[in-house]
Amino acid sequence: MTAEQMNKFARSVLIAFFFISVYLISDTLISEHKMLRWIYLLFPIALIVCFFSANRKVRAYLSTLSLLILFIGGLFEPLNFDVIEESFILLPLCYVFLFPGALWPIAVAIGLVITYWVNLPAEKFGEFVEDAIELVFIASFATVMTYYYQKSQRQSLRYKKASLTDHLTNLPNRKSFFNTTADLLADEQNDHAVIQLGLDNLKAVNDNLGYGYGDELLKQFSTHVQSIVGEFGTVFRLGGDELVVLVSFATGDRQPLQQVIDRLVQHYDTVCQVFNTSHSLLFSGGVALLSDAHNNINVWGKNVDAAVARAKSSDNEIIRWYDEELMNDTIRDHQIEVELKGAIDKQQLKLVYQPKVDTRSNSIVGAEALLRWHHPDLGIVSPLDFISVAEKTAQIIPIGRWVLDQAIQQAKEWQEIGKPICVSVNVSSVQFTHDDIYPFIEGLLVKHELAPQQLQIEITETAMMDKHTRVAKTCDKLQRLGVSIAIDDFGVAYSSLNYLKRLPIDVIKIDKSFIDHCVTERTDHMIVRTIIQIGHNLNKGVIAEGVENTKQCELLKSEQCYLIQGYVYSRPVYCREFTHLLLSQS
């Protein structure tokens, strides 16, 4: 039996006790009195009406009336003391039930004692004192116990409310949200939607102005969303900058939901004042229906997360619906996540190599190892689709280790046929932070007997910025081992000259986005020229990736960038075809 069932059972017993007590006292009054006996019917009627009344004043008046009937009747026509002793001891307990924690029961007990003391026979005095003490003690004990029970119940309710309330915003919290949604069902009559909102600039405010400003901004954001949603839904704070709006509506009538969404979009760029600063309440949001998740709360949560992620990555969507397109993407991502675990063992992963060419001699001087996934059902899965999934699930660690092992082994094979070239491998920031990458690479070089100078590690600017301390230390150790370090996609992220100065970097790779229009756009041309000059001035190697035509080649040569990588020479090819390219050079 649950605590709630126990409470219901205990209350039912108390109610039964109350009505039985009222009946016994009323029966005694009517049967024992001779004068105006039927007037005593007012006693049970007053108590029963008092029991059902919610008005405190009415209850007080009716309780007083019932006592007056009892006490005044006892003065005019006293009952036998033994009769009083048998049934009237129940009277204070009735008032414990009607007014729990109040002094009514003690007052009633004392009133009874005084009323029947007036006409008490002398020979009953000793027994009367004993019974009076017993009556007052029982009434007092019951009153005190009820008072402390109620006090503990109120304290328990306060604790329960506190456990279900976010202390910063005073909104219902994550626990309250899951308690509320646990029993929700979407059916032919009703459906439910969640709108998840994430404040865009909270992290920047915390970093730049401090958490006091961030907390105040979040409080104003929650108040703002509550005022917009109004009576159409309930707002919860899940944590961080995430608010969730729960909206219930009749199936087939999404007007309440659409009205909330329209009002949110309408007030998207509201400005608020936080202390002495102004801030825009910009947010990204997602909407998901419980019916689309087939009443699965966990799937419902994943659906709205996917919608929010898509809204954040979009330039023109403020709130994104979880629709069929997103559902297909979610199913595909889930399948990728599941299938990726066995991709290595099933030999579905392959490496292709794209040549790096020196335009002065038109010869291959290096290769970049690129990962491809050949799935029997999904076909060739783009790295753009599965690398992010692998990083989120930490599967990138075993995959990254496999890539390094295969690439180093292949570099050794090319060395053995007299074509030693430097092979570069992209290494994820997850590998730098959650894997012992240095001893692993050192062990592979020893295992395959490859000179460290024939391996290059490529890392992105973002990886350096996010985890620069550990990345720098690892790259420095690899560099001292003889492995070269290249910074990939230079120019598209932070492009911090400070990092070029401090970090152990040997090669700068100019991103394809600048190469694409360097011939036709002067701005891109000047950016390319600047990156090349920076690289030369800092004594770094410079390579341009994504080169697709001879005009781009000529421009890069004129800017003294002689190393290129791109379709103008070759697309990424498998090792057998790449070996053929190496051998055909001679």
Report in angstroms the alpha-carbon separations of 341 from 379, 397, 443, 541: 16, 11, 24, 37
pTM of the entire predicted model:
0.64
Q: How high is the pLDDT of residue 253?
A: 85
Question: What residue ranges in 388-454 does DSSP mark as E strands?
Answer: 422-426
Residue 97 amino acid letter: F
3-class secondary structure, 294: coil
Query: 272 vs 207, 208, 215, 237, 370, CA distance in Å?
Result: 19, 17, 13, 19, 48
How far is Cα 243 from Cα 195, in angstroms, rounded to an integer? 8
Residue 321 near residue 285 (C-beta atoms within 8 A): no
* DSSP element (H, E) containing 207: helix 202-209
CA distance 303 to 293: 8
What tokens were used for 204?
């920047």
One-letter amino acid of 43? F
Question: For position 49, what pLDDT does the model report?
Answer: 84
By residue count, the chain amounts to 586
Q: What is the largest CA-CA distance in the chain?
A: 135
Hey, what are 211's tokens? 């958490």
Reference 118, options 72, 82, 149; nearest CA is: 72
Closest among 442, 538, 151, 3 to 457, alpha carbons compared: 442
Per-residue pLDDT tens listing for the chain (586 residues): 565 667 677 778 778 877 887 777 777 777 766 666 777 778 788 878 887 887 878 877 887 787 777 677 666 666 665 655 555 667 777 777 777 777 777 777 776 666 666 566 565 666 666 666 776 777 777 777 777 777 777 777 777 777 788 888 889 989 888 888 888 888 888 899 999 998 888 888 887 888 888 888 889 889 899 998 988 889 999 888 889 999 999 988 888 899 999 999 888 878 888 888 888 788 889 999 999 888 888 889 889 998 998 888 887 888 999 988 888 887 777 788 888 888 888 899 999 999 999 999 889 999 999 999 998 888 888 888 888 888 888 889 999 999 999 999 999 999 999 999 999 999 988 888 888 899 999 999 999 999 999 999 998 776 666 544 578 788 889 999 999 999 887 766 555 676 677 778 899 999 898 999 999 999 999 999 999 998 998 899 999 999 999 999 999 999 999 999 999 999 999 999 999 999 987 5
CB of 70 closer than 8 Å to CB of 46: no
Q: What interhelical angle do 3-32 and 42-52 show, nearest 10?
A: 160
* The two structure tokens encoding residue 214: 């961030």
- pLDDT, tens digit, for every residue of 554-585? 999 999 999 999 999 999 999 999 999 999 87
According to DSSP H, which parts of 293-343 are helical? Answer: 297-313, 324-340
In angstroms, the CA 276 to CA 273 distance is 7
Backbone torsions φ then ψ of 468, nearest 5 degrees: -60, -30
- Cα distance between residue 46 and residue 104, in whole Å: 16
